[in-house]
Structure 1
Amino acid sequence: MTADAPTARRRSWRTLDTAAGGLALDLGLYSVSALFAAITASTSTLLPHRAWGAVAATGYLVATLAVLVQLVVRRRNPRLVGLPARWAVTGFAWVTTALLPVLWQSVERANGRTDRAQEEVLVVEQAGIRLLDHGTPYLGRDAIAALPPGEQLLGYTPYQPGMAMFGLPRALVDTWWTDARVWFAVGTALALALAVVTLRAAPATLGGDRRREDAALLRGVQAATVLPICALTLATGGDDLPVLALCLLALALAAAGRPGRAGLAVGLAGALKLFAWPIALVLIVWGLTRRAGARVAAGAIGLPVVALVPALLVDRDALTENVLRFPLGHGLVTSPAQSPFPGHLIATALPGGRLIAAALLVVAGAAIAVRLARRPPGTAAASALICGYGLLAAIALMPSTRFGYLLYPLALLVWAPALHRPEPAPTTPTPEHLPGRTTSA
C-alpha cells in the first residue's frame, strides 16, 4: 500500500459524502434503511424486530421523501437547502425509527405483550431488582444452576455493574416508562447532545471550513442514531447505545482538549460494558502524548473500579461467574451470540478452533498494542480510527459475537472526521511518558 492510499480513501469518502451537498448520501441512507426495515418487518424471526420494522419503515420512507424534496429545491435554489434542513430530517428519522418504536413496544409490553422486548432488557431489569434487594446485580453459579434449564441464560448478567442502574426504575415501579429501553434512550440522547454541543463550541480547525466540520458532525450523529443497526438495537434491546454514546462523547471531549472529562465519560461507559475498555486504553495513550495520561486514566480506570467494588465485596464469586466465566464460554450455558464472523466459524468448524480463534484475537490485540506504542495517536480523530478498526478486528475474530456489535466500529469510524479540531499541541514523547519509545524514534 502506498503512502498516498489513506489520503486517496479520505478523498473518495469526501467526494461521496459531499455529493449534492450531502443529500445524495442522505438519500441512499434513508432509502436503503426503509427497504431494510420493510424486509425486517416481513421476514424476521424475532418478533421485537418485526415490530420495529413495521414502524421504522414508515419513518425511513418519509425521510426519503423529504430528502427528495430537498434535492428538487436545491436544483432550483441551493441556498434554500442547507445543514439545518438536513439536521431536521435526521431528528425526525431518529424519533420515528428509534424513539417511537421504543415507546410503542414499551407500552405494548406494559399492557401484557410478552414478545416486545429482547432478552437483554429483561436481564438488565432483573439486575436492577437484585441490586436494590441484595446489593449486587449478579446471581451466583449455584443460584443460576437452581433455575429451570430454560431460564438459566437469563440468570446471567454479562455486563459491568453500572448497567444495572438502567434497571432500577423497573425495580421501583412496573409501568411502561420504567422499561429499561426508555432509560437507554434517555442516556443515549443526553450523551450525544453533550457531544454535539462540545464539538460545536470548539474552535474551527485553523484555516478550516466550519460548514464542512458541521456536515461531518451531522454524518457522525446519523451513524450513531438513524443507521438501522443503531435504531433497531435501541428499539429492541438498547444496552449498547448509551455505551456507544458515552464513548463518542469521550472522543468529542478529547477533541476539545478536555482530557479529564474525556476520561470520566469513557469511564462511565466502561462501568456499563467491557466494550468501552479498549477505547479507554486508546484515550489514555492519547493523553500520554499531552502529558495528561494520569488525568484520563483517573476517570477511565477509576470509575469502572469504583463500580466493581460493591459487587466484589457482596459476592466475589457471582461477579466472576457473570463477567468472566460466562463471556469466556465457561458458564453453565453458552452465549447465544453466534453470528457467522470468521472467529465464530473457526471456533466451530476446526479442531481446537476456539483456541485458534482466541490466539488470532490475541495476535490482533498485540498488533494494536505495538501500533499504540510505536505511533501513539496524537489527535482524537486518530484515536477514533484506531478504536474503530481495532474493534472491527476484535468483533470479526471473537468466537462468540453478534452482528449488532458492528454498530461500535461503524459509528466510531464515521465519527472520526467530526473530531478534527485544533487540540493543544502535543508534547514531545519521552521514554518516561511513553515506555518503550526511544528519543531517536
Structure 2
Amino acid sequence: MADDQTARHRRWRTLDTAAGGLALDLGLYAVSAIFAAITAVTSTLLPHRAWGTVAAVGYLVATLAVVVQLSLRRRTPASRLVGLPGRWAVTGFTWASTALLPVLWQSIERSAGRTDRAQEEVLVVEHSGARLLEHGTPYLGPDAIAALPPGEQLLGYTPYQPGMAMFGLPRALVDAWWTDARVWFAVGTALALALAVAALRGAPASARPASPATPADTDDRRDAALLRGVQAATVLPICALTLATGGDDLPVLALCLLALALAAAGRPGRAGLAVGLAGALKLFAWPVALVLIVWGLTRRAGGRVAAGAIGLPVAALLPALLVDRDALTENVLRFPLGHGLVTSPAQSPFPGYLIANALPAGRLIAAALLVAAGLAIAVRLARRPPRTAVATAVICGYGLLVAIALMPSTRFGYLLYPLALLTWAPALHREADTSTVAMPGHLAGRASSA
C-alpha cells in the first residue's frame, strides 16, 4: 500500500514539475480553451454560451503564452518570465480574461436590458437582499411562495444561509451594472484568496517546510504548490464559468481556503472566523467547519475555532429565525431536502440522484447512504483526528466529494469544492506536517496517519 502511494506521489511530482511546471500549465489552458469553445457552441444555457465565447479567447491566449514560455525556457532557463513570476502573471491574466471579464461583460449587458445574462441564483440572491432590506429577513414564507405564479415559485426560494443576502444588498440600493451580485461575488472571492496567499507566504520561518534544500528552493516549491492551488480555485473552467454566470459558490470556497491557510499558519481563531463567514453564506462550509474544529481540538484550540465557526452562522441565523421561523425552515431545510412547493433544478446524474429517481423509495435510500457516509467520516475523525492543515483539507475534500456524489439533488458545478480543496492541500504543507507529502492523490493515504 505504501509502495503504491509512493509511486502515485512520484508520478504526480513528475507531472507537476515537468518543464518547471509549464507542461501542466499548458495542458490546463489548452484543455480549458477546448472546453470553453465547446460550451460556446453547444450549451443550452445562454449565460454559459456567452461565457464560452469570451473565455475561449482568454484560454487560447494563455496557452500561447505558455508555449512562448516553454520556448524561452530552452534558451534562458533562469529568466523570470519562465519561472514562478511569469507563471503567476499568466494565471492572473487567465482569471481576469476568463472569469472577471465575462462577469463585467454580462453584468453590463444585463443592466442594458438583456435578460439572458444571469443564472437564476443571481436573481435569487438579489431578491433576498431586497427582502432583507425591507422586511428584515431574506426569506419568503410558504404562503407567500404559494401565492406566486407557478413559473416564479422557484425564484421565490432562497436556499442559502442569511449572510448570502449581503451580496444582494447593492442591487437593492442601486440598479446598475456594478451592483450585479456577481461583481460582489468576484470582489469577495479575490479578497479572500489574496488574504489566503498572504497568510501562507507570511507564515513564520519555523512553520515553513523542512528541507535540506536552500531557502530559495524551499520557497520556490512552496510558491509552486500555492500557485497550483490558486489555479484550481480560479482558472479551472468549473470555477471561472461558475463565477461568470452564477458565482455564489466562489466566495464560500475562497473563505474555506482562507480558513485552511490560516490553520496552516497557526492562527486557529482567525481560521474559525473565516470558515464561520463561509458558513453564514452556505451550508457547504459547515462540514469544513466541523473538521476544522476537530483539528483545533488537537491543538488545544477547539474553543477558539468553534467561536467563529459556529458563532458567526448562528448569529446570522438568529434575526431570520426571530422575524419568520417558518420562512427560514421552508427555504433552508424543506426546499433543499426536496419537500418544498417546487423541485430543486439541481439534477446532475450522480449516484445519489440516480438512486433517488430510479429505485423504489430511492430518496430514502440515497439519504441513508449519505448519513452512513457522514457517520463513517465522524468515526474516522474520532479515531484519528487531523493534526495538520493538510490532513484537514484532504478529509474535507474527499468528504465533500462523497457527499456530492450521494446527495439526491446536486449539481456538477459543486465539484469545484473537492477539486479546489484537494489541490490546495499541498500548499498547506509545513514543517510540522512530517507525515504528509505534497500530492493530492497521495495525501489521502497519508492523512489517515496524521
Alignment TM-score > 0.5, same fold:
yes
Aligned with residue 210 of structure 2, among 206, 221, 236: 206
What's the offset of the Cα at 1:124?
0.1
| Structure 2: distance between partners of 1:422 and 1:287 | 18
Give per-residue Cα distances to partners, 1:31-52, cap 9 Å, x unaligned: 0000000000000000000000
The one-letter code matched in structure 1 to 2:41 is S
| Structure 2: distance between partners of 1:349 and 1:424 | 44
2:131 maps to 1:130? yes
The one-letter code matched in structure 2 to 1:140 is G
2:229 maps to 1:220? yes
Match of 2:352 in 1: 343
Match of 1:120 in 2: 121
Match of 1:415 in 2: 424
Match of 2:55 in 1: 56
What's the offset of the Cα at 1:3?
2.9
The one-letter code matched in structure 1 to 2:400 is L
What's the offset of the Cα at 1:306?
0.2
Aligned with 2:2: secondary structure?
coil
Give per-residue Cα distances to partners, 1:370-419, cap 9 Å, x unaligned: 11111110100110000000000000000100000000000000000000
Q: Which runs of 5+ in 1 are unaligned?
A: 426-441
Confirm or deny: 8 A CA contact 1:255 1:423 kept in the other structure: no
What's the offset of the Cα at 1:10?
2.3
Match of 2:292 in 1: 283
Give per-residue Cα distances to partners, 1:61-87, cap 9 Å, x unaligned: 000000000001111121112000000
| Structure 2: distance between partners of 1:180 and 1:406 | 22
Match of 1:194 in 2: 195
| Structure 1: distance between partners of 2:121 and 2:432 | 39
Measured on the aligned residues, the alpha-carbon RMSD in Å equals 1.2
What's the offset of the Cα at 1:424?
9.7
Match of 1:165 in 2: 166
Aligned with residue 294 of structure 1, among 285, 295, 303: 303
Aligned with 1:45: secondary structure?
coil
What's the offset of the Cα at 1:4?
3.3
Confirm or deny: 8 A CA contact 2:388 2:433 kept in the other structure: no
What's the offset of the Cα at 1:195?
0.2
Match of 1:148 in 2: 149
What's the offset of the Cα at 1:210?
1.6
Match of 1:434 in 2: none
| Structure 1: distance between partners of 2:338 and 2:152 | 17
Give per-residue Cα distances to partners, 1:219-263, cap 9 Å, x unaligned: 000000000000000000000000000000000000000000000
Q: Which moved more, 1:132-141 or 1:370-379?
A: 370-379
Percentage identity across paired residues of the two chains? 86
Aligned with residue 367 of structure 2, among 358, 363, 377: 358
The one-letter code matched in structure 2 to 1:205 is P
Confirm or deny: 8 A CA contact 1:187 1:242 kept in the other structure: yes
What's the offset of the Cα at 1:205?
1.1
The one-letter code matched in structure 1 to 2:20 is G
| Structure 1: distance between partners of 2:103 and 2:4 | 42
| Structure 2: distance between partners of 1:321 and 1:350 | 26
2:261 maps to 1:252? yes
The one-letter code matched in structure 2 to 1:99 is L
Confirm or deny: 8 A CA contact 2:22 2:70 kept in the other structure: yes
Match of 1:95 in 2: 96
| Structure 2: distance between partners of 1:352 and 1:341 | 17
The one-letter code matched in structure 1 to 2:198 is V
| Structure 1: distance between partners of 2:310 and 2:2 | 36
